[in-house]
Chains A and B, each alone.
Chain A
Amino acid sequence: MTGVWFSWRIWAVFGILAVLPAFPFMTGYRLGLAFDALLFGVIAMSLDLLMGYTGLVSFGHAAFLGLGAYSTALLVERGVRSIWLCLLAAIVVVGLYALLVSYFATTRRGIYFALLTLIFAEVVYTFFRYTMAFGGSDGIQGLEPAQLVPGMPASAVDTPLKNYYLVLALLLLAYLVCRTLVESHFGKVLVAIRENEDRARFLGYNVRRYKMTVCVISALLTGIAGALYPIRLANATPDLLLWTVSGEVIVMVMIGGIGTLAGPVIGGAFFMVLQEEVSSYAPKIYQALGLSADKGVGVHLLIIGVILVLIVLFMPRGLLGAVRAARVRAPRLPAPVAAGGAK
């Protein structure tokens, strides 16, 4: 635990984030965008535990996110307004689901793991997409704000500012959990599994149990973030569960820098801001050029796709990884995404 809690840089960053809403340019709209950015930062960071440290690429994180969101939405819809109960429900639901998925998925390595998580998540998507009791394709809309203290309307998390601080608190908590975890003995074993699974097994570690544990931890962090999602947007839709969302989270990790924890947070924030800005400006530019505006709706995905390709090709350690490598000067080895290795 070398200086996890005392690293001044982290506290400086969180300090800046904490006073950010005081600046005049942080309008309600921008605070909402900041909420999304930090929320997906948490999700990308939790995926980094798997991708960056354990070498497992999960293509099913959308399911954890969506299950968390639906837990909150269903409870709030039925009049349970306490945030804590919503979080508890999300933890139970996501935890059980993650146990099930990781039990099957961790029997296989590499691409099989990715595809198994993907297909499990797709089952969850199909279930919510077509279950009319959960709103079908519309999801659950128009939720009341949740409350920190049940029965006390004054404690309702109903303004962009309160939402923002809620997610900032989650980010801080999640970062400390992840950082403590990767610096611990447990984290070292995960890295050992990433580097050489067989050797870790021969050293006497129960590799599968370690993998399942880290899967569940990562899933729970994502699920908790998901549980906060409906608190800002007052809805939960099956689109959250789409497998392309899982892919987007992987993109966030790759852009920010795999295996750095802080990098994926930057990647998540970058992704969300880019998506929001491009998709709000592109139709206007198209209209100004005399083209039909409806074509511009997906431009951000085009840009993100191209950025992802360029990052994989030229900057496999991502933004933060590249900065660190430049600072250390000593060239590092390519990023260790691998699981199982090639044949």
Chain B
Amino acid sequence: MEYIADILLPQMLHGLVFGAALGLLALGLTIIFGLLGVMNFAHGELFMLGAYAGIAVIALTQSFWAAVILAPACVAVVGALMEICTLRPLYKRPPLYGLILTFGLALAFREIVREIWGGDMRRIVEPISGSVPLLGMMYPKYRLFLLGAALLLLLGIWLFFTKTRAGIIVRAAVQDAEMLDGLGVNVPRVFTLTFAGSSALAALAGLLLAPIFTVVPTMGVEMILLAFIVVILGGMGSLGGSVLAALVIGEAQSLFSLWMNPQRVAIAIFAIMILVLIVRPRGFFGREGVLE
């Protein structure tokens, strides 16, 4: 019983927090993939840029909360420029060009950040310190805030896609962009805004996770593989699947690390994914024919 309260429960909560943040990252990836047909290798770098933009804003304003607004906005601009300048000419070409192009962009972003901020580890101080009693244990307030924020954001995204006109247009564009164009919607603008939005989501995830992790130029590379696994596991093009898979992976990562060393955890996660793909080749909710 003590084992459950002292070890298992906090670890499961950690997993939930991490899974929810991973979900934010994977959602952006899956939307971009569904809409533009681009597997965005630079998504991890947008995540990383979020954390560094946060450091820059905090240095200027001394306020974490200002960074929560401004850093994703900056990264959204970067994302919009990236879409307009580099991805737009590629839509008529086979989807693998997008993969290769964003790999190049990821290299460039990573090294630009290293040039500006150096390769050292950095930290963002938790804006909320201290712990609260929860279910018979003490749990850090910031992690609880993070969990609440991530779940609220996920709820917001769900409402956006089901209840608002803009969200329905994006979903329609995922289904059939040509038809939407024929109905008089400015599809290139939808693409750009969606890309900017998903960049902002990645940046926000990077910034919110930064006080828990360390900020280094390679933090995006480390996350992007997990995010890819989440997207594949959830099923390409399925938003709900991505969120579910992110929570599963977050929990798995967190619980396995109780009993295994980190490398075994990584291998176990790869094994989960390979097993799921053997049983369900399209992941949890993948539909037939999405970019195959």
Contacts and interface: CB of A to CB of B under 8 A. Distances in A.
Interface string B99-130: 11101111111111011001100000000000
B291 A130 contact: no
Contacts of A313: 86, 89-90, 101
A335 to B, nearest CB: 8
Nearest to A130: B263
B108 A302 contact: yes
Interface in A296-343: 297-299, 301-302, 304-309, 312-313, 316, 334, 336-343
A308 B86 CA distance: 11
A111 interface: yes
Interface stretch (A31-39, A65-73, A170-178, A246-254): A246-254
Contact of A57 (B96, B221, B228, B261): B96
Residue among A115, A294, A307 with most chain B CB within 10 A: A115
A216 interface: no
Given A57-B99, A119-B270, A340 B105 contact: no
Contacts of B97: 312, 316, 337
A186 interface: no
Interface in A238-284: 243-244, 247, 250-251, 254
B65 to A, nearest CB: 31
A306 B108 contact: yes
B50 to A, nearest CB: 19
A294 B117 CA distance: 11
Contacts of A5: none
A243 B266 CA distance: 14
A257 B97 CA distance: 14
A126 interface: yes
Residue among B96, B115, B229, B289 with most chain A CB within 10 A: B96
Interface string A102-135: 0010011111101110111011001101100000
Contact of B115 (A111, A123, A251, A295): A295
B263 A312 contact: no
B104 A343 contact: no
A143 to B, nearest CB: 24
B27 interface: no
Contacts of B277: 104, 116
Contacts of B266: 122, 126
Nearest to A312: B101
Contact of B111 (A126, A250, A298): A298
Contacts of A122: 225, 266, 270
A245 to B, nearest CB: 12
A40 B114 CA distance: 26
Nearest to B175: A343
Interface SS of B by simple majority:
helix
Contacts of A250: 100, 103
A104 B228 contact: no
Interface string A67-106: 0000000000000000000000000000000000000100
Contact of A305 (B106, B262, B291): B106
B93 interface: yes
Given A130-B261, A308-B101, A108 B115 contact: no
B273 interface: yes
Nearest to B120: A294
Contact of A309 (B39, B93, B104, B270): B104
Given A115-B39, A295-B118, A309-B104, A343 B291 contact: yes
Contacts of B16: none
Residue among B100, B271, B289 with most chain A CB within 10 A: B100
Interface string B8-40: 000000000000000000000000000001010
Contacts of B114: 295, 297-298
B99 A111 contact: yes
B104 A342 contact: no
A292 B117 CA distance: 12
A312 B110 CA distance: 19
A122 B108 CA distance: 22
B110 A110 contact: no
A233 B93 CA distance: 40
A305 B274 CA distance: 31
19 contacts: A57-B96, A104-B277, A109-B292, A119-B225, A123-B271, A251-B103, A294-B118, A295-B114, A295-B118, A297-B114, A301-B108, A302-B111, A302-B112, A305-B109, A306-B104, A308-B101, A309-B108, A313-B90, A338-B96
